């Protein structure tokens, strides 16, 4: 049985081999960086002077951050975080003790306000950005 070593190819022969394999196997060319680098969006053209500036779009999704809590409210907040984020009791305790900590991202305004009120009622402080 022969060994599975590749023959010594020059750089040009290797590039030609890769090109032929991509063609035969219908493999698309990948940008440098592979799968980890998302494609960059094209820059927006500068606004023309005679057009009015577009109105600032109202923010619809928010980020919630647990900023602080009262020491006496810690057990209640741990239980609420456990239920809200689906964490284990140990992970919830670590989460609360590491405040300020990001709770949720991409939360609609009404849901964020409900969460803020719930945590505030228990003795904690949540900030919506």
The confidence score (pLDDT) of residue 52 equals 54
For residue 34, the model assigns a pLDDT of: 46
pLDDT above 50: residue 93: yes
Percent of the chain with pLDDT over 70: 71
Question: What pLDDT is recorded for position 42?
Answer: 54
Tokens of 8: 């010594």
Sheet with strand 124-128: strands edge to edge: 101-108, 61-69, 124-128
Question: Tens digits of per-residue pLDDT, 1-57?
Answer: 445 555 677 878 888 888 888 888 877 766 554 444 455 555 555 555 555 555 556
- pTM for the whole thing? 0.52
Q: Is 77 helix (H, G, I), strand (E, B) or coil?
A: helix
């Amino acid at each position: 049985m022969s060994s599975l070593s590749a023959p010594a190819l020059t750089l040009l022969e290797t590039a030609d081999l890769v090109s032929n394999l991509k063609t035969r196997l219908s493999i698309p060319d990948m940008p440098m960086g592979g799968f980890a680098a998302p494609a960059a969006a094209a820059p927006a053209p500068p606004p023309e002077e005679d057009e009015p500036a577009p109105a600032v779009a109202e923010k619809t999704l928010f980020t919630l951050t647990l900023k602080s809590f009262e020491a006496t409210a810690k057990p209640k907040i741990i239980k609420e975080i456990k239920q809200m984020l689906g964490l284990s009791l140990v992970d919830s305790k670590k989460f609360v003790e590491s405040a300020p900590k990001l709770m949720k991202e991409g939360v609609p305004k009404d849901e964020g306000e409900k969460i803020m009120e719930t945590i505030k009622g228990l003795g904690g402080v949540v900030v919506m950005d």
